[in-house]
Amino acid sequence: MVQIIGHRGARGLEPENTMRSFRKALELGVDYIECDVHMTKDGHIVLMHDHTVDRTTNASGPVNSFTFDEIRKLDAGEGEIIPTLGELLDLARGKVKLHIELKDETAPLQVTPPTPSPAPGLPTPGAPALPPGQTPQPQPTPERVSVSAPSGPYIPPQLTTCPNCSNIMTFSPDGSTFCIRCGYKPELKK
């Protein structure tokens, strides 16, 4: 079966790796959206193909030389800002599969999808209870999110969700974890 992948969204039609490009890819009916991630100087995960912002923004320099606040002020084309991985996850949830490429080999980033709910309609273990009348949102699962890296990522055997927002947790080589959406960081055991 042929799968259609929106490479960097709809990069030939809209500024690549921007929310505008990802929305266009959805509009065109792609099966997957591929994106590239880098980490800012202060540890935020942003979507950018190149190691520098030179080709796609109104600035120059390595992605990891900018803070999150600085990089969000750049024009990524047609007035678009550089999005976060969390923003793309929100857009894609329940609509399209994602392929995330880790571009920054020096960043302590490993993205893994969380364990799916044990059965349809049941919350992920450890997730907060939903208010009455609300239905669970589809969560990224191993079947809906794939990850690659030039050097091959270390993917921990356990897949973890954030206890605050039930989203993807990221893993650092030192074994620490943090949530890419809400910033939750569990206490390290001494």
The tokens describing 182, both together, are 């809400």
Q: State the sign of the Cα–Cα–Cα–Cα dihedral 183, 8, 55, 12.
A: negative
Active site residue 49: yes
Q: What is the DSSP string of 65-126?
A: GS-HHHHHTS--STTPPPPBHHHHHHHHTTT-EEEEEE--TTS---B-PPPPPSSTTSPPTT
| Torsion sign, CA atoms 138, 144, 150, 151 | positive
Which token pair is 153?
């990522």
Of the residues 7, 44, 51, 99, which is catalytic? 7
Q: Catalytic residue among 38, 44, 49, 99, which? A: 49
Kindly report the number of other CB atoms within 10 A of residue 178's CB atom.
18
- Residues paired with 111 in a beta bridge: 170
CA dihedral for 115, 116, 118, 123, sign (positive or negative): positive
Give catalytic residue positions: 7, 49
